[in-house]
A and B are shown apart, each in its own frame.
Chain A
Amino acid sequence: MASSHIALHKMPGKPGTAGWLYVLPLVLVLLPFFVAPILVVLAASFFGTDGFGGLTPDFTLSNYTEVLSSTLTLSLYLSTIKFTVLTWFFTLLIGFFVAYFLVFHVRNPLLAIGLFLVCTVPFWTSNIIRMISWIPLLGKEGLINEALRATGIIHQPLEVLLFSDLAVVIAYVHQLTIFMIVPIFNAMARIDKKLVEAAVDAGASRLDVMRLIIVPMSKSGIALGTIFVVSIVMGDFFVVKVMSGGGSASVVSAFYEDVGVLQYPMAAASAVLLTLVLLGLISLILRTVDIRREITR
């Protein structure tokens, strides 16, 4: 990341002190409320427990051996990864083409901004409210089942719509597509249209323009959106809990159950494992795209 600085060096000299003074407040918040808690969880993952929520400070690896040897862990990760991949795929597909439509197909710039705002407004409503808003549609007596029944396509209500994996993915896509649209829109809006014209003049097909110009130049937005979506889905538990009706679980929902029965060391061990998996994923993304340079360019 040697090249990851922002503007030009307008004021050379004194690198260090001035910059640190400006970011000091940020660091003073992140140290006690991010670094220290993560270290506490790490420490707790090596502790024993008296079974009543108390921690006994003896160094043990048993929490890890228990988490890693459990077949439940594997199935939890598979289920979480399934939800993450499906949500990522659909949010990226919809987000990319919605952003592309707004930037390259809507001719009136004011209309494009207006439509963009239309996409962002629901973001300001509570996530939980947006999630439960699917109940009147997907429920057994919901609008979709009633409509299908009225048209005679089905005779029994479809049970698979609500309290199922399908409902979980629908809720995630509903909540998180905005996290793809905003960064991709931002990246695409900065593509010089003359570049596209030049490519077309030089004989590039529409597919070539998409493949060789639009996608590569939007990749910072795609990467940022992916980081948001992946970390939110992998760190979530309440969508899975409510929308699956308790039928599915995720890594964090199992963690939540552990915390509920005061099994802190076990919970901490699985939390450390999840954090490592997430860190691995995010650093893979950051290795392909230098986000800091791309955002500030």
Chain B
Amino acid sequence: MSVDVSASETIDAAARHAIAPSRGKRPWTFYLLAALFTLYVLALYGPMICIYILSFQDVRGGLVFPMKGHSLHWFVDLFTQVRTGDVKGSFDRSIKLAVIVTIITVVVSFLAGLGFRRRFRGDAVVFYMMIGSLVAPGLVLGLGIGLLFQWLGIDASWYTSALGAQLSWTLPFGVLVMFAVMSRFDDAWEEAARDLGASRWQTIWLVVVPVLAPGLVAVALFGFTLSYDEFARSLQTAGSLNTLPLEIWSMTLNVTSPSLYALGTVTTIISFLIIGASLGTIVFIQKRRGARVASH
């Protein structure tokens, strides 16, 4: 995803003017688009920042401004009150489920990415099956999985039916990301490894996986957040115990207090911790690789 904005030295001033190169006066469209971008970012973050602020009200707090006092009351309320439901339990389940989904998504997407590099008989069928799985309405698929389990006499639960329902959504995303990652992978590295006598598994473990590592972290990040936030497909498949999005959903129907906002603040903090850890992993991998290259 490189963004190359260096303009050629040879083009004249007028041309430079028209396509926003590295020097010269900005065209009027720059200011127009910059204004649009600023407005978009404001609309993107504004509402969310509002609820983060409102979640720190005291016991008199309501759903709208002005803010009434400051306290952590609604965070305590979130985890202690029975009427807000089983936030802690559903949170635990969601995290566990997201970790399982992430691991399966990374492994299966990686293998599928390798497989799709070359044509094989029926590859289009698999490809369109994947696209179909991606665009199928979540609630419809959820109902289908629910009925299927009912007919087979298996109890629906978050770690069986909901796990499968979520994979039918995270895997197509993962494989699409792998497509983009694989398109930048040079097959010559693999060939070189084979020429030097590496076995098929050695080639994959020692060459392909390390080269694709940042892409695999991206797939993991996708898998985790898509699962952690998955709602429609889990609704009919989670069984008797809720996942966090289902819990949030039932709260939006029952709870009309800033507890809801406190939950928003907590889930956002968790998300940021996960992004931070993932970006940290990518930086660490690249640094180590840089150090290894430098030492040779």
Contact = CB atoms under 8 A, between A and B. Distances in A.
B159 interface: no
A7 B118 contact: yes
A222 interface: no
Interface in B128-169: 129-141, 143-145, 147-148, 151, 164-165, 167-168
Contacts of B18: 200, 206, 209
B140 A15 contact: no
A284 interface: no
A284 to B, nearest CB: 13
A121 B275 contact: yes
B2 to A, nearest CB: 7
A118 B41 CA distance: 8
Q: Which of B21, B131, B225 has the most CB of A within 10 A?
A: B131
A132 B264 contact: yes
B140 A6 contact: no
B291 interface: no
A26 B171 contact: yes
Nearest to B271: A124
A274 B47 contact: no
Given A30-B129, A259-B143, A196 B19 contact: yes
Q: Which of B27, B112, B119 has the most CB of A within 10 A?
A: B119
Contact of B30 (A44, A105, A135): A105
Nearest to B125: A27
Interface stretch (B76-84, B172-180, B209-217, B281-289): B172-180
Interface residues of A, number: 113
Contact of B164 (A32, A40, A44, A133): A32
A146 B65 contact: yes
Interface string B230-244: 011000100000001
A98 B35 CA distance: 10
Contacts of A4: 124, 127
B103 to A, nearest CB: 12
Given A22-B115, A32-B164, A278 B135 contact: yes
Interface residues of B, number: 107
B252 A128 contact: yes
A117 to B, nearest CB: 9
B205 interface: no
A100 interface: yes
B119 A5 contact: yes
A132 B252 contact: yes
A256 interface: yes
Interface stretch (A59-67, A69-77, A107-115): A107-115
Contact of A37 (B34, B43, B148, B171): B148
Interface string A65-102: 00000000000000000000000000000100110111
A255 B33 contact: no
B260 interface: yes
Interface of A: 1, 4-11, 15-27, 29-30, 32-41, 44, 94, 97-98, 100-109, 112-113, 115, 118-119, 121-130, 132-137, 139, 141-143, 146, 174, 177, 185-186, 189, 193-194, 196-197, 200-201, 206, 209, 227, 231, 234-238, 242, 252, 255-256, 259, 264, 267-268, 271, 274-275, 278-279, 282, 286, 292, 295-297
In the A-B complex, the 9 residue pairs with the smallest Cβ-Cβ separation, listed nearest first, are: A22-B115, A37-B144, A19-B120, A235-B137, A231-B135, A33-B164, A129-B264, A133-B47, A101-B33
26 contacts: A5-B123, A6-B183, A16-B121, A19-B116, A22-B114, A25-B108, A34-B133, A37-B145, A41-B140, A101-B37, A102-B37, A109-B3, A109-B4, A125-B271, A126-B229, A126-B244, A128-B245, A129-B248, A132-B264, A231-B134, A237-B139, A256-B139, A264-B147, A286-B131, A295-B180, A296-B179
